[in-house]
Structure 1
Amino acid sequence: MFEVARLAGVSHQTVSRVINNSPDVSDATRAKVEKAIAQLGYRRSNSARALASQRSRTVGLIACSIDYYGPISTLASIETGVRHHDMFLSVVIVPEEEFIRQGFDSAARSLNEQDVDALVFIAPTDATLLAALRMETVVPRVIITSTHGAITVEEAKALSGAKSPVVFLGMDQWTATHEVVQMLYDLGHRDTLYLNGPSNWRDATTRRLAWEHYCGKLGMATRALDVDSWEAKDAYRVVTTLLDEKRSAGEALPTAIVAANDNQAAAAMRALHEHGLRIPQDVSVVGFDDIPSADNLYPPLTTVHPRFRQVGVLATECLLALLGEAEAPKFDRTEHGTGLVTAELVRRDSVGLASR
């Protein structure tokens, strides 16, 4: 930096201001400094900055599987937000088969060795939620998870004994599911089918519990099919079997099928088409996630649009607040100790009036 200052004929403080994009530098001076930087091939040393500031300007993120639309959208948003604030994001992906404490601990050790300033966890299961809380660290944590599971967020926090600051963040899936139930009820649907997601995922548990709760309040009959997977092929197999059984027995079909995600909903639509059933005239279909292809299915899929990118934005703002660099953000709602982002019901042509 001193060499750049000598070549440009300015103080090293002025060079620092240019490097940090301070507005308190004239255009002419900025041009001289940038020319000197280019001539000398100067680049900032993050190690030197860390020694001077006691901050690495690095955030560690542990994501448990990014095979699905939600986690990868959230991760991308966090990376953009962190980079916008002149920080770095160091990412460790824990495969689904390693959703155990050992896998988390190994990832956490590697990030601790980088002296990260804070940690973000995308924790979709009870096991990963507990592992994120039990991790030995003194840096602040932001944990992105769902409100319901085998244990509540409050119970998990009490069990963990976590000592460093922790913020919980997630999507308001409970309210969104209520809107789905109310929409179908208002359209005359009284006999419905629900496709469960994987039982170890907190998102699947939250959606299922909300579905059963509001169906019960409205007196809407429902039956749950255990797909126990987010994959389309598994939902297709389960729905095809049910349709074959109903046809063989001469039994009436439910007037609506609600799936725990859009992959399952697309599979249900395929099975209905193959059995000569019309959507929505015979059976309405609803999904969850609003994946990019949802509006191009036949017919376009009614689904819930979770604002995954907004979750990433709020996660970044929570990090900055925990590090004392910003005010704490405001959430749409706070329930079960978790700051929530609103999800939007998007109605398309796959839903109509009940056929019977």
Structure 2
Amino acid sequence: MASRRTRRPSMFDVARLAGVSHQTVSRVINHSASVAADTRRKVMRAIDELDYRPSNSARALASRNSRMIGLIAGGQRFYGPVTTIAAIETLARANELTLNVVLMHNVECTQQQFNGFCEPLLEQEVDAAIILAPTDAMFEAAIRAPLSQPRVIVTSSHGAMSIPEAMRLLPREKRSKTSCVGIDQYGAMAEVHRLVLDYGHRNVLYFAGPQDWRDAYTRLRAWNKACFSSPMSSVTVQCSSWDAGEAYQRMNHVLENIGRIGAKPPTCVICANDAHAIGVLRALHEHGVRVPQEVSVVGFDDMPAVDNMTPPLTTVRPDFDALGTQVMRDALYLMGKGPEAAFSISSHGIGLVPAKPVLRKSLAPAARA
């Protein structure tokens, strides 16, 4: 991330130096008569001292319609968020709206840092904010951010803080202008469980993603709930990242332990994402374990090219294009520019887009009972 020290002075810098609000600075810039003379002089001195030059958008702050949408995105190095952002941008452009994208490292997210990312959006008076918040820290920061505009938060249904708990943190006037949208992770994992159970698998490993990521938390919670009342025995292998390399190392360790103590190997490995599945498949191959004849493998995300692996990977396909479209429609509705977005699934306080298993050759009937 580029140092904030090198950027040009902003309206918020002027406001801090003058000891006033950024709205007051906006009124001075736009020659409003409602500003007291002493206050106007303080603001002008701060502008001169900082050599602040208002942008075109700053000069237009008095307008209630900037035709700009602010988007703050975490998780941008992953397939799902990138695809979702592309779909949001397409619909924004179709509605003659400009998308102002700010990318951040969600792992390093603090409230102060997040608020800093909001500053340029507030300065430009965006009509709405869309926030891709994959982690607990980023989700809570998005809820607590000092945004007066409508906000749509793209996240998962479960995590350290539930959606209803988060909404209760908001003042009533902001609650009505805030919505949460996500993928139906819970329903998808329930379908994976039914599919694997129907194939006769009873002894399963589940590779879980980092639990501060809401997707990983939701998928593990859904998987454990499905297994609780079924004849399937599932052991969780907890990963601290989404990386294939870590899954490869952990699967190697599992296989070595099985060989050393003579334990019964699993007949299926369920992975919280496709990268984990790739690492697991490599470890199985190097240990001479045939997939799917001896062990089946299932992923999540349907990343490009996993259908051309050996064997092609059974996985879950979230509709990221539909997610982006629904997010933008929700933003338009909250802005008063379109009908209310209709979701086929809505639970836990969040509108959800379906995700369906895609059956390929890495999943087969269990070789052992």
TM-score of the superposition, structure 2-length normalised? 0.82
For 2:195, give the aligned amino acid.
Answer: M
Q: What is residue 95 of structure 2 aligned with on the other side?
A: 85
* Superposed structure 1 runs of 4+ greater than 4 Å apart: 46-53
Match for residue 342 of structure 1 among 344, 354, 366: 354
Structure-2 separation of matches of 1:102 and 1:209:
30
Give the 3 Å change call, closer, same or farther, for CA 49–57 of structure 1 in structure 2: farther
Q: Does 1:148 align with 2:165?
A: no
Q: What is residue 363 of structure 2 aligned with on the other side?
A: 351
Q: Does 1:282 align with 2:308?
A: no
Is the CA contact (8 Å cut-off) linking 1:50 and 1:57 kept in structure 2?
Answer: no
Q: What is residue 227 of structure 2 aligned with on the other side?
A: 215
Give the 3 Å change call, closer, same or farther, for CA 79–49 of structure 1 in structure 2: farther
Is the CA contact (8 Å cut-off) linking 1:258 and 1:286 kept in structure 2?
Answer: yes
Structure-2 separation of matches of 1:240 and 1:189:
21
Equivalent position SS for 1:218: coil
Q: What is residue 54 of structure 1 aligned with on the other side?
A: 64
Q: For 1:1-356, what aligned pairs fall within 5 Å after superposition? A: 54-161=64-171, 163-164=173-174, 165-356=177-368
Give the 3 Å change call, closer, same or farther, for CA 132–47 of structure 1 in structure 2: closer
Task: Tell me the percent identity.
Answer: 44
State the Cα distance separating 1:355 from its structure 2 match. Answer: 0.9
State the Cα distance separating 1:49 from its structure 2 match. Answer: 11
Structure-2 separation of matches of 1:51 and 1:135:
20
Q: Which residues of structure 1 form unaligned runs of 5+? A: 1-45
Give the 3 Å change call, closer, same or farther, for CA 47–95 of structure 1 in structure 2: closer
Q: Which residues of structure 2 form unaligned runs of 5+? A: 1-55
For 2:205, give the aligned amino acid.
Answer: L
Bigger mean CA offset, 101-110 vs 272-281: 101-110
| Number of residues of Structure 1 aligned to a counterpart in Structure 2 | 312
State the Cα distance separating 1:163 from its structure 2 match. Answer: 3.7
Give the 3 Å change call, closer, same or farther, for CA 294–56 of structure 1 in structure 2: same
TM-score of the superposition, structure 1-length normalised? 0.85
For 1:66, give the aligned amino acid.
Answer: Q
